[in-house]
Each structure stands twice: as C-alpha cells, then as structure tokens.
Structure 1
C-alpha cells in the first residue's frame, strides 16, 4: 500500500463528502444533505427496523446498500480496504499466563504479538495496564520488557503477574505524557495496544528525537486529549477535526449483549425526548449534551427530564404530558438511527485517515512504516496496526 497516496485519496474523499459525515443527526432535526439527496433520505426512512439493526452491526453490508442509493460511495469501500499484516508463529504461553485476562483482550494480545516482528531490542510497553502484552512479548521473544503505567494499583498487579510467570519485566509507574517518560523510549521497540488519543500521538510527535528503534502502535480513542482541535502529525494533513468528529471514528463497537442494547436504546430515546421538549420551550439550536449520570435513569422518564432540566436551567411548564414526549423521543431515535447509517459509513475512512496520519508522521521522522490489520473487526474494530522501523542512516540521508 502506498501510504501517502492512500492518505491523500481518503482526504479528498472525506473532504468532498463532508456534508454526509460531519453533521450528527442527534443534534439536528434533519441533516442538510437530505435536501441534496432526497432519494437517499426517503430510502433510509423507509427501512424497516430489522434492516436498520443489521446495517448498524454490519458496516460492509450497510455501505454496499448505501452505494446502491449513492454510487459515489463505491469508492469508499475500495479506499478502506487494508491488508492483513504478515503473521508469525510464537511459542505457546505457560499455564499461568491467561489468569485474570478477559477472553477478548487475551485474543487481541495474541493477535498483536503474532503480527508484530519478533523483538530484537529491549521492549517498552506504553500505557501497559497490568502488563499483559509486555509479558506475552517477553515470553514469545525472550526479550527484556519495561512496562510503563500511571496507575499504581495496575503496576502492582503487573509486578505480581510478572513474578508468577517468571518474565524479565520491569514495571515503571509513570505518566506517559510526562516529558521524563521519554527517557524510557531510547533504544527500545515501543508497543502501544489501544493507547488512547494523545497517549499514542505523543510518541509520534517526538519520534525524531526519542531514539526508539521501532514502534508498534494500534491506536484507539482518537478524540481523547485533543483540546477539541486535532493537531495533525504529518505535513499533508488538511482535515479540520474537532473532538466530536474524532469520536465518530470509534463509534463502531463489537455487538453488545441484548440487555445492553435495550438500555442504550432507551437512554438515547429519553435524551432525544428531552431535547425535543427543550426545543419546544426554548427554540431549536445546537447545544452540547454532556454525559448523564446513570442514577438519573432509575426513576423513569419524567424524573430523568426534570433532573436534566435543573442541570441545563430549562424552565419547565407546570403541565407536561410526559408520555407524549417520551413517545416523541422514541420516534426521533428511529429517525436518528436511520440517518446515522450514512454518517457511520464514513467511520472506517476517517479512522484509516487518522492511522495513516500516524504512519506518515513516523515516516517523516525517519522510519520505514507498514499499516495493516492484525485481527478481525469482530474481535475489535480498533484492529489497525502501525509498524515502524528506524531507517538505516545511509538510507535516511537519501530520503
């Protein structure tokens, strides 16, 4: 894959179709694109609930259907294809390794390890948690590992687990964003499995002076640490992104259990019911919607809305027919779900653009870079992995 050509192609595609993916249907009664593509809007509103649920879970099927309504989206499918990275065989773990690791996380760690090159220099595990990935790489490659983590409780667990499995693993309790943490990067291969937002971007920003031998970065939660403005990592990046649009890249999740889906559906319907009520009182205007405490959902729709109204300084009238506003919330949710399918079709394109920005940022700072996926998206939608190796000095001078 020509990384820069793919990056520029995605950037052009996202720029041309920004009206389809930038507006969040939750915050607007009807996205402006509905006037430009009325046939698409009508087709979406005509979808039955079964298709909506299927398309919400299957991004490929959704994009194929959308392309039948909007043929330009065929290019989106091609632009988002990413190869699987080469795999390798790694030694099996000892009997104690799996203890305490959630099953899905365990499979992600195994896939990450199999798709990264064997470590030939000491390893630094960035934002390590309990050090599971570092411990796995230490066992696979017989290499010394430093695991850096900010949470003292997780550090203590990492020390205990390393001792139990007999791995050569040093645990450092430190803030990855602190400048002093960069001292641990020099001469190491740096691993970052789902380090969020600025926690992975800070590695790229200082890669030309930190002295790492290699990076293996599977990024996550791109919106965290942005201060609402995304600062690109590579010279050709031109998309203007805020935290809201960055969050779009990570809204795809592995299918949730039925009870979680029902709870999430009710939560969104209640929020939309409140928004409709507030708009009727104060007039329509885009407003941010801060997180709602889980305890506010315990006593029904009316109590939920009254608590929100108190927080948002909304003066409620004396008489409110609460069932009507709750029903309107459910109607709005059905419409929002359908219009969101269009926006969600661009999630992978936006995520791949962000990952390629990381890759090109490392390339411009003296590394040879590959990008590919290391596991199926059913295991984790955050399945893109950046592999970067420091260039030989002679080659760096030519580039």
Structure 2
C-alpha cells in the first residue's frame, strides 16, 4: 500500500464514521452516535471501573473488546500499522552532552537520531528549544548545525550548552512562522522533533521553494495554529477539521504521574459538575468552557462554582446544593470516560491521517518520502517520523 492509498483509505473510514469521533461527550451528554449505535453505547456505559481502567491502559485489550462491537475497528487498526524505521548505530557522546536534558527527552532524542539517516548536508533544527537534538546529530553526523528558536531565553541556554559540549552551533533567534525564517532552510537537512502544529506544517507549505536537501519531521500538537480550520497539505485531503476536533489526535498520554492523573480527574469532574448546574439553570446546550485559573482548583468545589458563575455571568439561586452538583460531576465523568473510549478508537487514525498529509505534501513538493515509527509509544505516543529526501 502506498502512502497515498493508505491516506485515502483512512480518509474514507474517518469520513464514514464521523459521528463516532467528532462529538465530544464532555459537551454532549449523549452524543448523536449513541442513538445510531445503541448497543455499542450501552456496552460502553455498562463497563465496570476495573474493566474501564484495563481497556483504557491496554490498547490490545481494548481492540479485542471493540472489534466485535464495531467491525471497522479492525480495518482502522491495520491502516494505522506502520513498521519501525531502520535504526543505525550512533557514536557515543560524552557525559557533558546530557547536562540539563530530562531522561525521557534524552531517550526521544536518541531514538529520533538513530532512526534518521545520516545527513549529507548542514543541519537546521527547527523550533529547537535548547538545541539538544541538533547537538546530538551534529556529533553523530559530523555536520555543522544551526538551531532556530523564537524564545530568547532558550536561545541563550542553547548557546551555553553548545559551548559546554564544545560544538559549533549557530543559534538563530527567529519566528519559524515568519517568511524570513525559511531562508535558513536552503541546502540544509531540516530536523523537527515535536514542532507543534503550524510550526511543522509551515515547513511543508514552503518545501517546493525553500531548497532544503531533506526533512526529518516528527509532528506534534496538530491543533495549534488551526483555530480557524485545518488547511491541508496535499491535493486529496477533504476531511474538514477545526482546532477542537484536532485535539483528539493528541489525547493519548503516557507520561503523567498518578498524582497528576488524580488531579486531572478531579478537575474534569468539577468542570462537569458546574456544566450540569449551568444546564439545569439555563437549559441543555453546548456552551464553550474557557480555561480555569489553577488557583480556582485549590479550594472547595463551592468556591470554584461561585468563581465560575461570576465569570460566566450566571445568576445563582440563594441556596445551591454544592455537594449534589459535585456528585453529579463525578457521575458525569464516569459517563464521559466510557463514551470517550469509543471516540478514542479513532484518535490514532486521525493522527495517522495528519502525518500522511505531511508526507504527501512533501511528496508533491518533489521529495521521496518514508513514514514509520522511531520509538515505542510508551516513550511518546507522538512516535511517527516523516523522512523526506530531495
């Protein structure tokens, strides 16, 4: 199957099953698909807590549970299967290289570098942060490296770290989304490890004219820069997406500690409790929910609810049974998690569609392109790597 054939097959599945993945149970108590697939909805809602935890944390077990109830899940799983890109041996680095690099980030850098072909041109690290990846590949490939980053503080860190590692690294403090930034691409091997949203897509949009020798792109945070709608990169893309829907592609996480997970669970339950109260007072409707200041989540639910009511201009009755609405929020969170399980069955398919859109955009710009994984999803779920050679 070619990249384009895989892309079109994924697009067909996603288009045909839009009701299952577009609507968010967080905002709609019973998304419309529940009426269209009532048996599936009932099976999800009747999952006990232990089974829900098991299915949420074990993709293979979830696939076994889902496939008999939603046969297209098997086809979707096959379309999302890509082999690991071939690795290469990298020369070791000195102890000074690891300074200030978190362990998980260090492992991602090593995996990205090992699964990228040796560069035969000067390196340009796009949206470089502190420039760790560029320094690693400069050491392994024997090429000069430039690192482009918008944040002056990170640029200063990159300069100091390069000096410490005794690597000649040019740090370019510039905005990757400004047209002038693309002049640095010409005749370079471009590296982008988890450049967010439009930051990695901008490389593809200009690839036909920028004169890069090659690209190594591991995309991330597809929703960034797409608030007004996703602008596709290849001629066959016809899946309408907005920033809210694109967030589905990055909902899988593996790095949160148990403490953070407990806090996020409580935060979601409180939000749902307030939404239930608001709907009881104003009527059921899909209304936006803006981010909440962290300090609002440090007290009691009653304080949180009053802060939100004031912000939203929601008149509260003289007496509010806050314990009741907190319990409603907990119950709603259980329902949301169970219905989101079905929605999450499509998140890897959506991510694969987005990454293939990048690949086909580069192909149409005149590059030979490969796509595969560069690490296990336990290290990062954003483990898809696009390799493009002119």
Aligned to 1:91: 91
Aligned to 1:115: 115
State the 1:255 CA deviation. 4.6
Aligned to 2:62: 62
Q: Residues of 2 paired with 1:352 and 1:211: CA distance?
A: 26
Q: Cα deviations across residues 36-57 of structure 1 (Å, max 9, x unaligned)?
A: 2111111111111112122222
Aligned to 1:77: 77
Q: Residues of 2 paired with 1:258 and 1:185: CA distance?
A: 42
Unaligned 5+ segments in structure 2 are none
Aligned to 1:364: 364
Question: Is this contact kept in 2: 1:25–1:339, CA < 8 A?
Answer: yes
SS in 2 for 1:222: coil
Aligned to 1:206: 206
Q: Cα deviations across residues 94-142 of structure 1 (Å, max 9, x unaligned)?
A: 1101111000000000000000000110000000000000000011111
Question: Is this contact kept in 2: 1:143–1:168, CA < 8 A?
Answer: no
Q: How do 1:105-144 residues align onto structure 2 when only pairs under 5 Å count? A: 105-144=105-144
Moved over 4 A (4+): none
Aligned to 2:266: 266
Aligned to 1:396: none
State which drifts further: 38-47 or 235-244: 38-47
Question: Is this contact kept in 2: 1:59–1:345, CA < 8 A?
Answer: no
The CA RMSD measured in Å over matched residues stands at: 0.9
- Is 1:349 equivalent to 2:349 in the alignment? yes
- Is 1:249 equivalent to 2:273 in the alignment? no
Question: Is this contact kept in 1: 2:188–2:213, CA < 8 A?
Answer: yes
Question: Is this contact kept in 2: 1:190–1:216, CA < 8 A?
Answer: yes
Question: Is this contact kept in 1: 2:248–2:347, CA < 8 A?
Answer: yes
Aligned to 2:27: 27
Q: Residues of 2 paired with 1:263 and 1:159: CA distance?
A: 37
Q: How do 1:383-394 residues align onto structure 2 when only pairs under 5 Å count? A: 383-390=383-390
Q: Residues of 1 paired with 2:239 and 2:221: CA distance?
A: 18
Q: Residues of 2 paired with 1:163 and 1:343: CA distance?
A: 48
Q: Residues of 1 paired with 2:33 and 2:183: CA distance?
A: 50
Q: Residues of 1 paired with 2:64 and 2:207: CA distance?
A: 39
Q: Residues of 2 paired with 1:159 and 1:122: CA distance?
A: 18
Aligned to 2:323: 323
Question: Is this contact kept in 2: 1:64–1:74, CA < 8 A?
Answer: no
Question: Is this contact kept in 1: 2:219–2:385, CA < 8 A?
Answer: yes
Q: Residues of 1 paired with 2:355 and 2:35: CA distance?
A: 33
Aligned to 2:336: 336
Aligned to 1:310: 310
State the 1:357 CA deviation. 0.3
SS in 2 for 1:68: coil
Q: Residues of 1 paired with 2:219 and 2:238: CA distance?
A: 20
Aligned to 1:174: 174
Q: Residues of 2 paired with 1:95 and 1:322: CA distance?
A: 55
The TM-score normalised by the length of structure 1 is 0.96
State which drifts further: 56-65 or 347-356: 56-65
The TM-score normalised by the length of structure 2 is 0.99
Unaligned 5+ segments in structure 1 are 391-399
SS in 2 for 1:237: coil
